[in-house]
């Protein structure tokens, strides 16, 4: 099955058979299962690069990590968190990870396991954390209705990062704070353009808001008549799919601009996908833009044909689905010899460090970096194409030699001219100097 372009990854609340599973979206067959991780927390299942799959356990403060080609978790390491996490996210390159524990956000470096900082700006439990596609920013949302945009560089390279302790933690400021929602934020989506794109949020206050991620300005406010639970964009980011607590999915086109910043959504101005009987937990769109995946608390995963809004396949689960999304098919799932490029390390639980006990970590990677250019013989290159005949080559060589000799003659002439002028100027100065002294002596003698 390594010839598939994309696969489905899901997890549900019933962990008797597996914690998470990889599916073939065409025929609904299971390709790979990962066990021993309990029940995965809502919206925390993600990949670490192209080597590992990670999920937060719902009942314990533990992070479970699986190699993509193994049913069992990573052996010899135990990733214990400072508390039970409600939100978790990893940067696209697998270098940093962030977890929302109660109202605090913990940020780690994956390769070293160092706890870089603890952010404490939310007032209630953090529900969502997502990195931008560029990996330089991440967005957090909480039950207090606030959405904050953070700069990873400003947090990770703080001048007091090595001296900060638990008491002084959380003194960083976000890039900006959005506080337009009156009830908890249930889901958010970030444009593929990163910080130059848009931010989409949905909340229990029955609104879907679209922001300019660069400035934080509100661009559009969509008002619904029922609470919202999830949101997703299509590949070209021309359509927004919003899942509700009732089980319906609304489709809104961004190609039809409106005059006002607020729009009341109804059956007249939107398309509705109706088949689920409970709250929508996850939405995802395939790479070709033809298929919409929806997962719900009613234990159903449905694949929809977007143009006709008809279900084309259902995959039943044994519990409410907590995570589900389309992703590229990774070759590491089907290989026996596993050589990860991402380095893992046990995560630190506190910021307090003793300088005497800090150990240096030497990281060895099997990757050649061509930093210095390799030595190559320098040869004269002629811009005009040379003919392969011997006569043309001799003519070109003769012209180059004549031009080289002419340049040498010019340099030699300039050097001789400079030397002669310099010597002549010094000789005239030395000759004129004693004559002035004699004139002065004669004047003093006559007086």
Name the residue with higher pLDDT: 174 or 163: 174
Q: Does the pLDDT of residue 49 top 70, yes or no?
A: yes
The answer to whether residues 96 and 160 belong to one domain is yes
Residue 433 burial (CB count, 10 A): 9
Query: What are the Cα distances from residue 237, in Å, to 240, 314, 327, 332?
Result: 7, 25, 17, 29
The answer to whether residues 239 and 118 belong to one domain is yes
Q: What is the pLDDT of residue 169?
A: 53
Domain boundary among 357, 381, 411: 357
The answer to whether residues 145 and 267 belong to one domain is yes
The answer to whether residues 64 and 203 belong to one domain is yes
Q: How far apart are the first and last CA of the chain?
A: 117
Q: Does the pLDDT of residue 157 top 80, yes or no?
A: no
Q: What is the pLDDT of residue 438?
A: 44
Residue 371 lies in a domain: no
Band of the pLDDT at 331, cuts 50, 70, 90? confident
pLDDT, mean over the chain = 84
Band of the pLDDT at 161, cuts 50, 70, 90? very low
- Domain containing residue 145: 6-357
Instruction: Give the three-state DSSP class for 21.
Output: strand
Candidates 137, 281, 263; CA nearest to 199 is 137
Band of the pLDDT at 34, cuts 50, 70, 90? very high
- pLDDT tens profile 343-384: 888 888 887 654 444 444 444 545 555 544 554 444 444 444
Q: What is the pLDDT of residue 351?
A: 79
As a whole number of angstroms, the distance between CA 139 and CA 147 comes to: 7
- pLDDT tens profile 90-119: 998 889 999 999 999 999 999 888 899 999
As a whole number of angstroms, the distance between CA 363 and CA 380 comes to: 42
- Are 220 and 210 in contact by the 8 Å Cβ rule? The answer is yes
- pLDDT tens profile 204-253: 999 999 999 999 999 999 999 999 999 999 999 999 999 999 999 999 99
Q: What is the pLDDT of residue 2?
A: 61
Q: What is the pLDDT of residue 283?
A: 96
Instruction: Give the three-state DSSP class for 114.
Output: coil
Name the residue with higher pLDDT: 2 or 257: 257
Band of the pLDDT at 430, cuts 50, 70, 90? low
Q: What is the pLDDT of residue 366?
A: 52
The answer to whether residues 136 and 224 belong to one domain is yes
The answer to whether residues 428 and 294 belong to one domain is no
Residue 389 burial (CB count, 10 A): 9
pTM of this structure: 0.75
Report percent pLDDT > 90 for the chain: 55
The answer to whether residues 341 and 409 belong to one domain is no
Q: What is the pLDDT of residue 4?
A: 83
Residue 382 lies in a domain: no
The answer to whether residues 194 and 80 belong to one domain is yes
Residue 380 lies in a domain: no
As a whole number of angstroms, the distance between CA 167 and CA 164 comes to: 8
As a whole number of angstroms, the distance between CA 317 and CA 278 comes to: 14
The phi-psi region of residue 30 (left if phi > 0; otherwise alpha if psi is between -120 and 50; otherwise beta) is beta
Q: What is the pLDDT of residue 415?
A: 87
As a whole number of angstroms, the distance between CA 34 and CA 37 comes to: 8
Residue 367 lies in a domain: no
Domain count, the chain: 2
| Four-point Cα dihedral 43, 45, 49, 50, nearest 10 | -130
The answer to whether residues 324 and 417 belong to one domain is no
Band of the pLDDT at 422, cuts 50, 70, 90? confident
Q: Is the dihedral of CA 293, 296, 299, 300 positive or negative?
A: negative
Q: E-strand spans in 213-345?
A: 218-223, 228-233, 239-244, 249-253, 262-264, 271-273, 280-285, 291-296, 300-305, 310-316, 321-328
Q: Does the pLDDT of residue 440 top 80, yes or no?
A: no
State the average pLDDT over residues 409-414.
90
The answer to whether residues 212 and 271 belong to one domain is yes
The answer to whether residues 18 and 71 belong to one domain is yes
As a whole number of angstroms, the distance between CA 25 and CA 367 comes to: 34
The answer to whether residues 24 and 80 belong to one domain is yes
Name the residue with higher pLDDT: 269 or 300: 300
Q: What is the pLDDT of residue 432?
A: 53
Report percent pLDDT > 70 for the chain: 83
Q: Does the pLDDT of residue 435 top 90, yes or no?
A: no
- Are 12 and 299 in contact by the 8 Å Cβ rule? The answer is yes
Residue 317 lies in a domain: yes
DSSP state of 38: -
CATH classification at residue 224: 2.130.10.10
Residue 166 lies in a domain: yes
Which token pair is 117? Answer: 């900082």
State the average pLDDT over residues 398-405.
88
Candidates 207, 116, 108; CA nearest to 161 is 116
Residue 256 lies in a domain: yes
Residue count of the chain, please give it. 447
State the average pLDDT over residues 117-126.
92
Name the residue with higher pLDDT: 89 or 431: 89
Domain boundary among 334, 357, 380: 357
Residue 440 lies in a domain: yes
């Amino acid at each position: 099955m390594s010839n598939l372009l994309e696969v489905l990854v899901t997890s549900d609340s019933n962990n008797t058979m597996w914690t998470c599973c990889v599916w073939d979206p065409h025929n609904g067959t299971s390709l790979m299962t990962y066990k021993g991780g309990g029940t995965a927390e809502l919206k925390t299942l993600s990949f670490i690069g192209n080597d590992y799959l990670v999920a937060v356990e719902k009942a314990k403060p533990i992070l479970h990590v699986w190699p993509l080609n193994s049913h069992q978790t990573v052996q010899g390491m135990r990733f214990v968190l400072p508390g039970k996490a409600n939100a978790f996210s990893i940067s696209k390159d697998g270098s940093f990870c962030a977890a929302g524990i109660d109202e605090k956000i913990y940020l780690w470096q994956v390769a070293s396991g160092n706890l870089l900082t603890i952010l404490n700006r939310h007032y209630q439990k953090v529900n969502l954390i997502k990195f931008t596609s560029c990996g330089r920013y991440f967005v957090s949302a909480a039950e207090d209705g606030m959405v904050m945009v953070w700069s990873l560089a400003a947090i990770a390279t703080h001048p007091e990062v090595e001296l900060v302790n638990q008491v002084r933690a959380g003194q960083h400021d976000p890039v900006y704070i959005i506080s337009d929602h009156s009830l908890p934020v249930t889901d958010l989506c970030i444009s593929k353009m990163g910080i130059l794109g848009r931010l989409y949020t949905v909340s229990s206050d029955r609104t879907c808001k679209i922001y300019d991620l660069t400035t934080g300005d509100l661009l559009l406010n969509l008002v619904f008549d029922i609470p919202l639970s999830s949101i997703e964009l299509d590949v070209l980011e021309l359509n927004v799919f919003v899942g509700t607590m009732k089980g319906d999915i609304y489709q809104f086109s961004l190609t039809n601009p409106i005059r006002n910043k607020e729009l009341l959504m109804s059956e007249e101005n939107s398309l509705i996908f109706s088949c689920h009987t409970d709250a929508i937990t996850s939405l995802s769109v395939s790479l070709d833009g033809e298929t919409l995946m929806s997962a719900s608390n009613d234990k159903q995963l449905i694949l929809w044909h977007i143009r006709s809004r008809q279900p084309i396949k259902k995959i039943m689960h044994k519990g409410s689905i907590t995570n589900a999304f389309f992703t590229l098919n990774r070759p590491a799932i089907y290989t026996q010899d596993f050589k990860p490029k991402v380095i893992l390390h046990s995560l630190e639980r506190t910021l307090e460090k003793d300088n005497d006990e800090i150990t240096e970590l030497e990281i060895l990677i099997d990757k050649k970096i061509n930093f210095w250019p390799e030595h190559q013989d320098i040869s004269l290159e002629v811009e005009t194409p040379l003919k392969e005949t011997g006569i043309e080559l001799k003519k070109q060589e003769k012209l180059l030699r004549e031009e080289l000799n002419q340049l040498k003659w010019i340099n030699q002439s300039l050097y001789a001219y400079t030397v002669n002028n310099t010597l002549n100027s010094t000789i005239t100065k030395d000759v004129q100097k004693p004559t002035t002294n004699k004139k002065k002596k004669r004047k003093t003698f006559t007086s």
